Amino acid sequence: MGVLQTAKGIRVITTIGEIKEVITKVKRQGKTIGFVPTMGYLHEGHLTLMRKAAAKTDFVVASIFVNPLQFGVGEDFEEYPRDLERDVRLAESAGVSLIFAPGVAEMYPDGYGTTVEVTRLTDRLCGRSRPGHFRGVTTVVTKLFNIIEPDIAFFGQKDAQQAVVLRKMAADLNMNLEIEIVPIVREPDGLAMSSRNKYLDPEERKAALVLSKALLLAKNLINSGARNTADLKREVTGFIGREPKARIDYVDILSFPGLEEIENVSGQVIIALAVFIGDTRLIDNVVLEVD
Ligand code: PAF
């Protein structure tokens, strides 16, 4: 089945052939296309991207595809939360005109053999802990860009390294589109929104606040004059280490968007964290401009 339709009229297309036909028609009408790629299980962070896309472009496409290529062995590809019906309702309310929800065989048919890889920027932070992850992301996003042909694609700052890597890919490969990065959306208590927050039990949900609190601690230390990266990392690591349910994957402070190691913070920097709370790996970051 290639096309589904909700009562209100939003279409869910599952085949590349059909979505390309719609895109050709939309382009012929002279409309600009906004694109929000997602893996579904939408939350307020995704809906913010969609609303932004609806405000800036004439026709918004969202993709919902849990991309096996970006999950490592033993990661949560099988368990990743999925609820297409709910996603369609939410996307529609956020101004999306069309959903592309292909199956794995549609995106990677038998014999599929091409990947896209950005070097250097992908060998640190999440790239170090999740080898091959960014190759999966850049491959699927290239395919999605070629299918949807958007004028503007929208990504969240929560996946800061992903955003930097995708901008580099688009620039290096002369892709004919703009990439807009939208600020992190947080729960009222500070937890960055993520589909993986669903995995947290009530005790873990409380413990997960250690990420945003650790970033706040770093920010306050920098505002009070701390500049040495090693000292700052030590403070942040110690703070997270006092939360019994937390296990640090990485705490890093790098230049932004270059993602270079720095001895002292100055100019634009990112403080980036990946922390397991129980079995759930959460990431968060803050970008600061330091005098
Ligand atoms: O950020 C995500 O949800 C995914 O990495 C993306 C960009 C949809 C590619 O699968």
Answer yes or no: is pLDDT of 35 > 80.
Answer: yes
Which of 75, 141, 143 to mutate for ligand 1's pocket (most ligand atoms within 8 Å of CB)? 141
Residues 6+ apart with CB under 8 A from 223: none
Q: pLDDT, tens digit, for every residue of 157-212?
A: 999 999 999 999 999 999 999 999 999 999 999 999 999 999 999 999 999 999 99
148: pLDDT strictly greater than 80: yes
pLDDT tens for 80-116 read 999 999 999 999 999 999 999 999 999 999 999 999 9
67 lines ligand 1 (CB under 6 A): yes
Cα of 197 from ligand 1 centre, angstroms: 16
Look at ligand 1, atom 2, and give the residue with the nearest C-alpha: 38
Give pLDDT, residue 9: 73
Range list of β-strands (E), the chain: 3-5, 11-13, 33-38, 59-64, 98-100, 152-156, 178-182, 246-255, 267-277, 280-290
The ligand 1 atom at the shortest distance from the C-alpha of residue 159 is 1
The predicted pLDDT at position 6 comes to: 56
Please give the distance, rounded to the nearest whole angstrom, from the Cα atom of residue 153 to the centre of ligand 1: 12
Q: What is the pLDDT of residue 3?
A: 59
Sign of the CA dihedral with 66 first, then 167, 170, and 28 last: positive
Q: Is the pLDDT reported for residue 240 higher than 80?
A: yes
| Pairing outcome for strands 98-100 and 246-255 | unpaired
Q: Is 169 in the pocket of ligand 1 (CB under 6 A)?
A: no
- Note the pLDDT of residue 233: 98
**How far is residue 253's CA from residue 229's CA, in Å, rounded to a whole number?**
7
Which pLDDT score is estimated for 85?
A: 96
**Whether 133 is catalytic:** no
The catalytic position among 46, 52, 135, 196 is: 46
Return the beta strands (E) in 65-210 as ranges: 98-100, 152-156, 178-182
* pLDDT for 149: 98
Cβ distance 95 to 60 under 8 Å?
yes
What's the whole-number mean pLDDT along residues 12-19?
98
Question: Is the pLDDT reported for residue 132 higher than 60?
Answer: yes
The CATH T-level fold of domain 3-182 is: Rossmann fold (3.40.50)
Indicate the DSSP class of residue 64. Answer: E
Ligand 1 atom, smallest distance to 144 CA: 9
What kind of fold does domain 195-290 have according to CATH?
Pantoate--beta-alanine Ligase; Chain: A,domain 2 (3.30.1300)
Asked if 3-182 and 195-290 have one fold, the answer is no
Q: What is the pLDDT of residues 39-73, one digit of tens each?
A: 999 999 999 999 999 999 999 999 999 999 999 99
Closest CA to 64 of 89, 26, 101: 101
Q: Alpha-carbon distance 170 to 51, whole Å?
A: 23
Q: Where are the domains of the chain?
A: 3-182, 195-290
Residue at token pair 């709370």:
277
| CB 36, CB 60: distance < 8 Å | yes
